C-alpha cells in the first residue's frame, strides 16, 4: 500500500436499507497517488459505496474524511463544497445533458465553482482525444466518446480523486479498451487518484489496489 496521505479515509461505515446491511463496518483508505478498484457481484452494494464515498449518501454510522476533513456530519452545503473542490464523478449512465455541447457539459463543474478555466478544458479535450468533438451534443456521440466527455467533466476542477461507477458498463466491446486506457492514465496524466467500482473482471490487472466487496465489507483481492 502507498505511503501517500489519503484523499479518502473511510472508517467503520455502516448503512442499512430494507433491513439489509449494505455496508457493515466497511473501511477503506485511498492514498493520493492510488489506482483503486472495488469489485463485486451485481447487488453487492458497489453503487451505494460509490455514493457514500462521493458524499452523495450519508452512512448510518462511521466516519469519512476527505483530505483530512471529517465530512460525515457536515451540513449539505459544506458537503457540496467538498464534492466540488475535491471529487470528480464518472457516473454509470454518464449523466450528460443532451441540450449542451460536449464542451459545455465538461464546463458545468467550473461554472458551479464560479471560476472557468478554458485553457484547462482545452488541455483535457486534447489529451483525451476528443478536441474535435467539443461542439457536438451527446446524442451525436458514441458510448466511448460520451465516456471521455464524462471523464473531462470529472477532471474539470482538478479533483483530488475521480470516482467512477461501472465505467465500462455502458460500452460496447470495441470501445471498452480505449476507455480503460484513458482511465489507466488518469493518475499519471492528471495528478489525481482514481477509484473505480465495477464488476468487470478486465479491469483488475490495471489497478494497484484491488478489493472485493462482499457482505458489506471489503477484502483484499
Q: Give the span between the Cα atoms of 62 and 79, in whole angstroms.
A: 16
Summarised one tens digit per residue, pLDDT across range 131-163 is 999 999 999 999 889 989 999 999 999 999 999
Confidence of residue 201 (pLDDT cuts 50, 70, 90): confident
Q: What is the pTM of this model?
A: 0.91
Domain presence at residue 69: yes
CATH number (domain holding residue 43): 3.40.50.300
Tell whether 185 is covered by a domain. Answer: yes
Is residue 1 situated within a structural domain? Answer: no
For residue 213, being part of any structural domain is answered with yes
Chain centre distance of CA 69: 19
Which residue range is the domain that position 100 belongs to?
Answer: 6-220
3-state class of 131 per DSSP? helix
Angle between helices 143-155 and 102-113 (to 10 degrees): 20
pLDDT tens digits along 31-66: 998 999 999 988 899 999 999 999 999 999 999 999
Total domains in the chain come to 1
Give the count of beta carbons closer than 10 Å to the beta carbon of residue 43: 9
Q: Is residue 132 part of a domain?
A: yes
Q: Specify the pLDDT at position 2.
A: 61
Locate the DSSP E strands across the chain.
6-17, 20-31, 35-39, 61-66, 69-70, 87-90, 161-165, 193-198, 209-214, 217-220
**Is 206 inside any structural domain?**
yes
pLDDT at 183: 79
**Does residue 77 register a pLDDT over 60?**
yes
Amino acid at each position: 500500500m502507498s505511503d501517500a496521505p489519503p484523499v479518502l479515509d473511510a472508517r467503520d461505515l455502516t448503512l442499512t436499507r430494507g433491513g439489509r446491511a449494505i455496508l457493515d463496518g466497511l473501511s477503506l483508505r485511498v492514498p493520493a497517488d492510488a489506482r483503486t478498484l472495488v469489485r463485486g457481484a451485481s447487488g453487492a452494494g458497489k453503487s451505494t459505496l460509490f455514493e457514500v464515498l462521493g458524499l452523495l449518501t450519508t452512512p448510518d454510522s462511521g466516519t469519512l474524511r476527505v483530505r483530512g476533513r471529517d465530512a460525515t456530519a457536515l451540513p449539505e452545503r459544506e458537503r457540496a463544497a467538498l464534492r466540488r473542490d475535491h471529487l470528480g464523478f464518472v457516473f454509470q449512465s454518464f449523466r450528460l445533458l443532451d441540450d449542451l455541447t460536449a464542451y459545455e457539459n465538461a464546463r458545468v463543474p467550473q461554472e458551479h465553482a464560479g471560476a472557468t478555466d478554458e485553457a484547462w478544458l482545452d488541455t483535457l479535450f486534447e489529451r483525451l482525444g476528443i478536441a474535435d468533438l467539443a461542439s457536438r451534443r451527446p446524442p451525436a456521440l458514441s458510448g466511448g466518446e460520451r465516456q471521455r466527455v464524462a471523464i473531462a467533466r470529472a477532471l474539470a476542477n482538478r479533483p483530488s480523486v475521480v470516482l467512477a461507477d461501472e465505467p465500462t458498463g455502458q460500452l460496447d466491446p470495441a470501445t471498452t479498451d480505449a476507455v480503460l486506457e484513458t482511465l489507466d492514465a488518469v493518475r499519471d496524466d492528471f495528478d489525481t487518484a482514481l477509484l473505480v467500482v465495477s464488476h468487470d473482471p478486465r479491469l483488475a490487472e490495471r489497478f494497484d489496489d484491488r478489493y472485493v466487496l462482499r457482505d458489506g465489507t471489503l477484502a483484499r483481492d
